[in-house]
Amino acid sequence: MSFPVILFAIKGNLVFMNNLYSKFAVTSVCTALGFALGSNQEAYSATFSLQPTTAFVVRDSNSDGLGDLLISLENTIGIRKAAQVEDAEFAEFNLSFYFTPNTVVNSAVFYTSIATFEVSEVGIGNPGSLGIFGYVGNGTAETSDFEAGVFLSSVNTSFDTFDLAFDVTHFLNQRVRNADTFAGFGIRALNLGNVALGGYRGTPITTRLIIETAEVAKPVPERTTIFGSAIGLCLGEWLKRKKSNQQNKTIPQH
């Protein structure tokens, strides 16, 4: 093989390697940018503190499990469970302003406080435990809410605890998934006794529902996507021009 032929072959290999290296480098840059831009997601969660839309007391005068008398919260005698009568406090929360059916509730806690254990019928005393019942509300106080609830959880009040927290996470997730507008909760004494929650005889109403939604991946802002597309177009144009310039070059013949 003559010297010019060898030189031509070496030069051709160098051109090929240079092209290959350039394409590999650009591809690597594009891949890195793609991963960087594509994986740039922001995790977020939200916490809501909801006040009840309506709060009221329902009395069961015959202890037959059916409510028959509606009492406004401003004049309530509190929660009571006696031999022939029971009073339960209720609160309903509007969910429509905050959640969509695909919202995942990570935590939901019903908070309230006890105003006093000295309500009525001296001698009955502390019931020892209170239970929370959940139902689908409608924003209106109704006696039928007394028998509508299903038991969710309970708290121990035997040590004269004044701050109460009921876990209602599972129930609230169901309400959100079903797109129910209102979630209703009833607080009842699980044993014989008396207790009054906030709102009794002018005390502040402390009832609230604290909801924390689960963290979800939030897509990057649209401007980042546009920036990535612009980079891709610029690199593509650069490759096109480089290839065109190389094709226009001719290797001298000897």
In this prediction, residue 233 has a pLDDT band, given cuts at 50, 70 and 90, of: low
In this prediction the pTM is 0.67
Pairing of strands 86-94, 79-81: antiparallel
Q: Which residues pair with 143 in a beta bridge?
A: none
Q: Can you read off the two tokens belonging to residue 78?
A: 């509190």
Name which of 122, 202, 192 is nearest 157 in CA terms: 192
- The residue type of 244 is S
Beta bridge partners of 135: 184
**Contact in structure between 85 and 59 (CB atoms under 8 Å):** yes
Q: Are 141 and 169 in contact (CB under 8 A)?
A: no
What tokens appear for 223 in the block?
Answer: 């401007």
Alpha helices, H only, 126-221: 169-177
Q: What is the per-residue pLDDT across 184-222, written as a single tens digit (0 to 9) for each?
A: 999 999 999 888 887 666 666 788 999 999 866 555 555
Q: Which is higher by pLDDT, 223 or 190?
A: 190
> 87: which strand partners?
59, 80
For 138, list phi and psi in degrees, rounded to 5.
-140, 10
Compute how many other C-beta atoms are within 10 angstroms of the C-beta atom of residue 33: 15
Q: How far does the chain reach from its first CA to its final CA, in angstroms?
A: 14
The string of pLDDT tens digits covering residues 37-87 is 444 444 457 999 999 999 899 999 887 888 889 887 665 667 888 888 899
Pairing of the two strands 105-116 and 86-94: unpaired
List the helix and strand counts (H, then E) for the chain. 3, 14
Q: pLDDT by residue (tens digit) across 83-135? A: 888 999 999 999 998 898 999 999 999 999 888 877 665 557 889 999 999 99
Residue 123 Cα distances to 115, 127, 193, angstroms: 18, 11, 9
**pLDDT of 147 strictly over 60:** yes
